[in-house]
Structure 1
């Protein structure tokens, strides 16, 4: 992997730091970055060597959405219905793979998080931002609908219907402070504290049993869509019974009784 690749992946133990690397275009999505993001997240589904993913942007922004000067945007606008649908699916499949993969995803946001870049952050599980972060559903500002690549599904579930409507219908900027108040962000921190804040979350998650963490994300997302309280309880029951028969629970119980930290990574 070269430093000028559109997607940089740095391995730190069992955590992968994934950096959108088109800083000259504010990390806007073109064909190559779209393909690499989609392929990366789709491959995660069956990987157990990677426990957690951190997603961030190089340079002055997180991601400015679709690069309207790219060949990808040209094909969407001029290529006819079938080609436009291919472009649409190429991008929205990134978000689908992010929600489907069992690894928790932390999005570290700064500068612009617009359009598809905003939805990349919505598809993550935990969002941490700097005060200069500006989020919006920019699609509606260029003649498209404000509901795109998962925004109409994810945003109302994260902040409620009325605040989501005010963002999707207008394309107005959402500040980091307002996003924190709405519950969209977990933290707003100074740029120099962004990585250390993420490390604190990583340390807490890495202290859990690996399979328990994976199944917690699965159950959490299932419950967001559950048709009833009983359906959510059924998934929770299933997960706890499966995990209760794993060695990690026996180690966790022994550690609690012995008043020590559990050693989940040991056989």
Structure 2
């Protein structure tokens, strides 16, 4: 695809690289559509167990391509404002696709993640940053509302409501150390952030297939849990289903063999 580079560092890991480095991987119509198609393909790929998302060049994603904020291709023959709403919804749907993938998504943030790029990172399951990563909501700086592409949902759940209000209303830039302190990312890479992301992917691939998929589903589902009891109900059912896969017996047998050795 012209705007994406998709590779397999190992048979069960798909690496998606946003590939518009001259534009800091800004979200054009072509990139949005290529990413939709790729995520659809990945969701149906039974061999893929983990997805790694990163950007080409010196940035992760700088957000919407402002040279053409309302591309002609996105209008689909509709008049304003229906055409603009259709395009807005199409971009925003990328976040639900990331969250609803069966496979965990690791965002390897290798530079600026602004606006829509920040939203893509927030919708990922694990975020790790390079030392020069930067994060900014940016939307309110563009004469728009500060809440867009899911950030009003994802950001408060990651860093808490108080910090999220600050970051969204002021649209200030957060560097990698502050992002780590806020809990926005789980680690900062000492070297190549992509290498660290692939190492995490390898770890996840060493666990049971059903166990990893169900863990992601339960974590997202329980963000909406109304009580501890409701969360436990989801967990309990997931654990019993996981126990029928045969992976528990394999793990128990391997553990017994290690004790004998």
Which band: TM-score by shorter chain? over 0.9
Q: CA deviation at 1:164?
A: 0.4
In the alignment, does 2:256 pair up with 1:257? Answer: yes
Q: Is residue 67–residue 73 contact of structure 1 (8 Å, CA) maintained in 2?
A: no
Aligned positions of 1:1-267 closer than 5 A: 1=1, 5-11=2-8, 12-70=10-68, 72=70, 80-190=80-190, 192-259=191-258
Tell me whether 248-257 or 14-23 shows the greater mean CA deviation: 248-257
Please list every run of 5 or more consecutive structure 1 residues that lacks an aligned counterpart in the other structure: 261-267
Query: Could you tell me how far apart the structure 2 residues matched to 1:106 and 1:115 are?
Result: 18
Query: Could you tell me how far apart the structure 1 residues matched to 2:165 and 2:148 are?
Result: 13
Query: Could you tell me how far apart the structure 1 residues matched to 2:41 and 2:155 are?
Result: 25
Q: So what's the TM-score if we normalise by structure 1? A: 0.91
Q: CA deviation at 1:211?
A: 1.2
SS in 1 for 2:34: helix
Tell me: higher relative CO, structure 1 or 2? Use CA pairs within 8 A at least 6 residues apart: 2
Query: Could you tell me how far apart the structure 2 residues matched to 1:256 and 1:37 are?
Result: 41
Q: Is residue 95–residue 119 contact of structure 2 (8 Å, CA) maintained in 1?
A: yes
Q: CA deviation at 1:110?
A: 2.1
Q: CA deviation at 1:73?
A: 5.4
Q: Is residue 139–residue 148 contact of structure 1 (8 Å, CA) maintained in 2?
A: yes
SS in 1 for 2:64: coil
Tell me whether 14-23 or 42-51 shows the greater mean CA deviation: 42-51
Q: Is residue 28–residue 64 contact of structure 1 (8 Å, CA) maintained in 2?
A: yes
* 1:88-129 deviation digits (Å, cap 9, x = unpaired): 111011101000011000111122100000000000111111
When residues 71 and 146 of structure 1 are mapped into structure 2, their CA distance, relative to the original with a 3 A threshold, is closer
Query: Could you tell me how far apart the structure 1 residues matched to 2:241 and 2:110 are?
Result: 39
Moved over 6 A (4+): none
SS in 2 for 1:258: helix
Q: So what's the TM-score if we normalise by structure 2? A: 0.93
